[in-house]
């Protein structure tokens, strides 16, 4: 029994000490890796600014974007939030955006129901993001399709 315990400890001791001697090439590689210059830091990506717009209504005669006019920097994201009186959506008049903006808006609007028409937001606090990345500067006029007759319009100025 003692012989088994001693021989087991001896085997573990040899294994722990390394048993084999590393060649000069592997030692040189290990030293070179340890002395190598640190890798350059990853490029820092600044997330786009998110500007919130509330979509409100009383369900009958009053509906609005709050604010109804805003100015954002190019590359910003405008987050439309259904607060009350939905369903709401955001749609842009194709003839009331700067020249060349239609393609940029199409890229910045996911899950559209049509050209420059976002999906309906039916639940409270549901939101929809529109990215103005690559969008030219100018005024972007939009509306809520279900409430356009109630005057639910918005103007977004991109600088």
What CATH number was assigned to the domain covering residues 50-158? 2.60.40.420
Answer whether residue 102 shows pLDDT above 50: yes
pLDDT tens digits, one per residue of 40-72: 444 444 567 899 999 999 877 899 999 999 999
Answer whether residue 74 shows pLDDT above 50: yes
Within a 10 A sphere around the Cβ of 140, how many other Cβ atoms? 23
Confidence of residue 87 (pLDDT cuts 50, 70, 90): very high
55 beta partners: 65, 82
Answer whether residue 10 shows pLDDT above 50: no
Res 46: pLDDT: 54
Res 154: pLDDT: 98
Res 60: pLDDT: 76
In the chain, where the domains are located? 2-35, 50-158
The token pair at 25 is 């090439």
């Amino acid at each position: 029994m003692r012989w088994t315990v001693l021989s087991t400890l001896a085997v573990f001791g040899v294994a722990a000490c390394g048993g084999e001697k590393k060649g000069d090439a592997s030692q040189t590689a290990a030293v070179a890796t340890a002395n190598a210059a640190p890798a350059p830091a990853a490029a820092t990506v600044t997330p786009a600014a998110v500007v919130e717009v509330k979509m409100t209504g009383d369900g009958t005669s009053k509906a609005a974007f709050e604010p109804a006019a805003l100015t954002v920097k190019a590359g910003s994201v405008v987050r439309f939030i259904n607060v009350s009186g939905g369903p709401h959506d955001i749609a842009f008049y194709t003839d009331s955006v700067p020249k060349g903006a239609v393609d940029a808006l199409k890229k910045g609007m996911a899950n559209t129901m049509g050209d420059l028409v976002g999906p309906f937001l039916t639940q409270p606090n549901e939101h929809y993001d529109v990215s103005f990345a690559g969008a030219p500067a100018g005024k972007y006029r939009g509306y809520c399709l279900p409430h356009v007759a109630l005057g639910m319009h918005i103007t977004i100025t991109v600088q």
